[in-house]
Structure 1
Amino acid sequence: MSLGQQVANNLPFLRRYARALTGSQSTGDAFVRATLEAALADEDLRASLDGGRIPLYRAFNKVWSSAYLDPDATQSGGGEHEAGAQSRLGAITPLNRQALLLTTLEDFSAAQAGMIMDLETSEIEALVAEAISEIDREQATSVLIIEDEPLISMQLEDLVNSIGHEVCGTAATRTQAREAVEEKMPGLVLADIQLADGSSGLDAVDDILAISKVPVIFITAYPERLLTGDRPEPTYLVTKPFQEQSVRAAISQALFFKSSRPLD
């Protein structure tokens, strides 16, 4: 397989990681583009990518770390949400969130995450524990679950409740989602893409976002279909079948950046 094909195959998942890490599609995609541009300009870096996901994420990490150390480099002019996200990032050390996302959302082992971040396995494990501790201190919110598979919906309900949030409603169709929002506007939405009556979770979420700027996490078996970079796309995306830690980490990031937004 050519280097270009290797990178292309892994690019959708790097976009997912970058968006979750930054809390923004535009900012995350900008970091991915910067990584590819750096690889084109540096022969050694480009050669290092010939080895699958770990070298690609490692190259991304170098770009991300460099921009974090130089706050001016992160200002992309992407609007209020991006400005709020950068302000929030500037107030903490992001390493713990990065380690958590790598080992949950991206399913790397602690040792692999250590290779990406240039840290020892024990350091990654400590950072993940620190991030989980932060999650446990986060303010609770209400969650709407849009999912047509009853067992998955129940699993998500149990997970949401176990980390201190309240399920304010469940829906298996776009119509049910509309009705649930009329009863109570959630603070967070977990949504499947394909719903029971053939309706779309994307359309159901569009209905909600037309009323309120609530953070949304999509849970789908085909994330690469929504991660082309060609159009407005979800910032938070979890792959089915999911690990509970992956959903937990995505919820944490979504609420983390929600709290960074300026009040309207």
Structure 2
Amino acid sequence: MSSATAGRVLIVEDDPVVAMVVEDILRDMGYEVLINITLEHAMFELDDGEVDAVLLDMQLRGKDARPLVLELLARKLPFLVLSGADQTALINEFPQIRVLPKPFGKATLEEAVRDLLGRPGVATPAPAA
């Protein structure tokens, strides 16, 4: 990730309303955003382009996103699970996974993304000196 850009975040979410809300928040933070609604398309996106982080729902059109989770762990790519379902089993199996329960607010998502990527988005103004 170059210092000239905030980075590229892939949203893997099959609910268009949730995807659009998350996209708007990330764009306002200065991130480039890609959206995929299926597991298959998300896997292709990982292979085809530079992605700095992934935000994903664990249930995509009735399919469990576990294969994508395993791929992201293998690639050591930062990701955040956005889920309205109980993810206790997933967290117990993979304690390093970050989960943001739905519903979440704008400030909570912004904080989670900043923490995930280890830096503020470019749209966040620096404090005055």
TM-score, normalised via structure 1 length: 0.40
Bigger radius of gyration = 1
Question: Are positions 1:189 and 2:51 aligned together?
Answer: no
Structure 1 portions without partners, runs of 5+: 1-138, 258-264
Instruction: Look up the match of 2:27.
Output: 161
Show structure 1 runs of 4+ deviating over 2 A.
207-210, 222-229
Question: Are positions 1:144 and 2:10 aligned together?
Answer: yes
CA shift, 1:226, in A, is 4.1
| Structure with higher strand content | 2
Conserved 8 A contact 2:80-2:98: yes
Amino acid at match of 2:22: L
Seen in structure 2, the aligned counterparts of structure 1 residues 240 and 173 have a Cα distance that, compared at 3 Å, is same
Question: Are positions 1:201 and 2:65 aligned together?
Answer: yes
CA distance in 1, matches of 2:89, 2:115: 19
CA distance in 2, matches of 1:228, 1:205: 12
Conserved 8 A contact 1:146-1:192: yes
| Structure with higher helix content | 1
Structure 2 portions without partners, runs of 5+: 120-129
Conserved 8 A contact 2:72-2:78: no
Aligned partner of 1:213 among 61, 76, 93: 76
Seen in structure 2, the aligned counterparts of structure 1 residues 204 and 225 have a Cα distance that, compared at 3 Å, is same
Seen in structure 2, the aligned counterparts of structure 1 residues 185 and 155 have a Cα distance that, compared at 3 Å, is same
Seen in structure 2, the aligned counterparts of structure 1 residues 251 and 226 have a Cα distance that, compared at 3 Å, is farther
CA shift, 1:246, in A, is 1.1
Equivalent residue pairs, number: 115
Aligned partner of 2:85 among 222, 231, 246: 222
CA shift, 1:233, in A, is 3.5
CA distance in 2, matches of 1:161, 1:226: 32
CA shift, 1:189, in A, is 0.3
CA shift, 1:255, in A, is 1.1
Identity %: 28
CA distance in 1, matches of 2:86, 2:29: 25
Conserved 8 A contact 1:218-1:238: yes
CA shift, 1:224, in A, is 4.9
CA distance in 2, matches of 1:234, 1:250: 14
TM-score, normalised via structure 2 length: 0.78
Seen in structure 2, the aligned counterparts of structure 1 residues 182 and 227 have a Cα distance that, compared at 3 Å, is closer
Aligned partner of 2:112 among 239, 250, 253: 250
CA distance in 1, matches of 2:96, 2:57: 12
CA distance in 2, matches of 1:146, 1:164: 19
Seen in structure 2, the aligned counterparts of structure 1 residues 174 and 249 have a Cα distance that, compared at 3 Å, is same
